[in-house]
Amino acid sequence: VNLAKHLPIFNRLYYQIKEAGDKLNNFYKTRIEEHNKRVDYDSEPTDFVEAFLRQKAQREAEGDGEFYS
């Protein structure tokens, strides 16, 4: 995969795809951080991010949080 960035034909496309992936990752990280600040663990989850954070907290409490980092 990294070979593509060195080939003239694929160079531009490689960096466009990488940039789009980086933007998507940053978007997800931002949303998770926002939810993490206001998540209420005593009520029902309102969306998938809250469900993810609840599962992560539960696994960390059980000592198995390595898969949810």
- Answer whether 38's CB lies under 8 Å from 52's CB: no
pLDDT of the residue at 67: 63
Tens digits of per-residue pLDDT, 43-68?
888 888 888 888 888 888 888 766 65
What percent of the chain lies above the pLDDT cut of 70?
A: 90
Alpha helices in the chain (DSSP H): 8-38, 48-61
Instruction: List, as own/partner pairs, every contact residues 40-46 make where C-beta atoms lie below 8 angstroms and the sequence separation is at least 24, other chains included.
Output: none
DSSP class of residue 5 equals: G
Torsion, Cα 57 37 32 43, to 10 degrees, reads 60
